[in-house]
């Protein structure tokens, strides 16, 4: 019998040595390429920041405002000379409008978990308090939230995102791969924001409203995810920046 006959594989016989060596080398190479390819794909992914649910359950006391989107106004202190303005959302792809409506303008306790990214945050309402009339309103009694401060007209470039996913509820929570999810969140009442990106520093986030300072309608959905230019009037409410605009002043870049 020739040597080539000895190297032929037969299932019920011992694998020929040459064939065993060949299979070992090929298997090792294929596995190495697969692992290396996986690491290469991972390394090529953009950095979506360190956003996520952080800090555990917390309760905060302040004045609730529902327009243009539900938010809690907290009086100024040494660390926050302009006061704090905390946007609110319900769990899932839902804004907190329905839950907040009966408390508009009232002093409330709001409980939930912050979704935080690079200093910006939104509070997902839940837990023991959710939104309720304050048990002890005394610490903020007499606090009247300041009106929006006009900062003038601006034209800014960035990406329109849904606040909740962008800040870390989803990763990625931005870009075209997230567009369908973002639009569902916005249709559910999650506040839209314009993320203005900067080199070597955190993005600037601005709450988007229509020209009258009210919640945006469905016209904004066409502009979510692509890079856009937005012209409007800039305001500050506490420590929150608000950009009033309309669809006619948003353009693709």
Q: What is the pLDDT of residues 49-85, one digit of tens each?
A: 789 999 999 999 999 999 999 999 999 999 999 999 9
**Can you list the domains of the chain with their CATH numbers?**
52-140 (2.40.50.140), 149-252 (2.40.50)
> Do residues 231 and 253 lie in contact, with contact meaning Cβ atoms separated by under 8 Å?
no
Q: Which residues of 32-61 are buried (b: 16+ CB within 10 A; e: fewer)?
A: eeeeeeeeeeeeeeeebbebeeeeeeeebb
> Residues 189-243: pLDDT tens digits?
999 999 999 998 999 999 999 999 999 999 999 999 999 999 999 999 999 999 9
- What confidence score (pLDDT) does residue 13 get? 76
The mean pLDDT of the chain is 93
pLDDT band at 1 (very low <50, low <70, confident <90, very high): very low
């Amino acid at each position: 019998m020739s040597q080539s006959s000895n190297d032929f594989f037969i299932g019920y016989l011992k694998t020929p040595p040459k064939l065993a060596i060949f299979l070992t080398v090929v298997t090792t190479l294929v596995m190495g390429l697969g692992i290396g390819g996986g690491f290469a794909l991972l390394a090529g992914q953009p950095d979506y920041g360190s956003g996520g649910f952080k800090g555990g359950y917390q309760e905060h006391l302040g004045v609730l405002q529902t327009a243009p989107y539900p938010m809690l106004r907290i009086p100024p202190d040494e660390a926050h000379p302009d006061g704090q303005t905390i946007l609110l959302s319900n769990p899932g792809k839902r804004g907190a409008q329905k839950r907040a409506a009966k408390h508009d303008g009232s002093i409330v306790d709001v409980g939930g978990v912050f979704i935080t990214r690079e200093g910006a945050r939104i509070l997902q309402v839940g837990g023991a308090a959710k939104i309720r009339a304050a048990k002890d309103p005394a610490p903020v009694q007499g606090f009247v939230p300041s009106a929006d401060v006009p900062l003038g007209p601006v034209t800014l470039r960035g990406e329109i995102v849904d606040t909740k996913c962008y800040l870390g509820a989803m990763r990625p929570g931005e870009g075209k791969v997230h567009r369908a999810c973002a639009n569902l969140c916005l249709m559910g009442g999650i506040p839209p924001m314009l993320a203005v990106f900067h080199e070597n520093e955190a993005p600037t986030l601005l709450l988007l409203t229509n020209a009258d300072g009210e919640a945006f309608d469905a016209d904004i959905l066409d502009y979510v995810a692509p890079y856009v230019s937005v012209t409007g009037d800039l305001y500050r409410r506490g420590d929150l920046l608000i950009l009033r605009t309309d669809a006619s002043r948003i353009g693709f870049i």
